[in-house]
Structures are given as C-alpha cells and as structure tokens.
C-alpha cells in the first residue's frame, strides 16, 4: 500500500516559472489537503478538497491553485513562483467523517 505519493521530492525553480506539485493517494479518501511548512510556523493550509470536483481555500491560498478531477489526484500549481513560496509542501488526505489525516512525504521547493 503506497498511501500518498508526492512528486517531485525536491525542486529548485527560477522565480516567475510555473510549477505543478503532484499528489496521488490510493486510499480512496474523500478529502485532500495541501499544506506548506515553514520554520517556526508549523503547517499552514493552502487549499483543500472535501470530495472530487470541489475545492476550497485555506489559510494561505494566494499564488496557488488546485484542481480535483478525480478522487486520487490533487495537484497544486504555482502559476508564477516567487521566492516567498520557498517551503516544504505536504499533501494529505482523510476519509470522510473519520478524522485522521495521512500525509505524503513532502516536496521541498526552492524558488530563486
């Protein structure tokens, strides 16, 4: 059982470039989430999706977009990357009504 996979593991990106972080889960969870983790700030929610076809904004959505075309995939796109988006990005999922979130291994993104 793979759980949640994220790609790439790490990436260095020039400012202004477009980047999509991929996230796939095989647990058939309804809900999926994107967080960014910055030193001293914990995990902050960027976007979420309660079920396929729906998405919502989290605490820090500016500069990011998501889509949820099916249950398994939840890509995060940076349309025009800026240095302040340098962070570690985690994808997570949870079953409907259950409560526990399961996390992917994270993507370390550096924007220069």
Query: Where on the chain is the footprint of other proteins (CB under 8 A)?
Result: 31, 33, 35, 40-45, 48, 50, 56, 88, 90, 92, 94, 96, 99-103, 105-106
Cβ proximity to other proteins, 78 vs 92, nearer residue: 92
What are 109's two structure tokens? Answer: 């993104």
Cβ proximity to other proteins, 85 vs 93, nearer residue: 93
For the CB of residue 45, give the shortest distance to other proteins in the complex, in Å: 7
The number of helices, as runs of H, and strands, as runs of E, in the chain is: 0, 11
- How far, in Å, CA of 33 to CA of 56, rounded? 10
Give the residue carrying structure tokens 């914990």: 42
């Amino acid at each position: 059982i793979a759980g949640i996979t994220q790609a790439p593991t790490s990436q260095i990106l020039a400012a202004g470039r477009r980047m999509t972080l991929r996230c796939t889960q095989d647990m058939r969870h309804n809900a999926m989430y994107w967080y960014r983790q910055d030193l001293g700030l914990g995990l902050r929610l960027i976007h979420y999706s309660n079920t396929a076809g729906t998405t919502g904004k989290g605490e820090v959505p500016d500069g990011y977009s998501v889509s949820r075309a099916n249950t398994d995939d939840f890509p995060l796109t940076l349309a025009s990357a800026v240095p302040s988006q340098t962070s570690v990005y985690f994808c997570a999922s949870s079953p409907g009504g259950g409560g526990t979130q399961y996390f992917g291994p994270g993507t370390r993104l550096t924007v220069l």
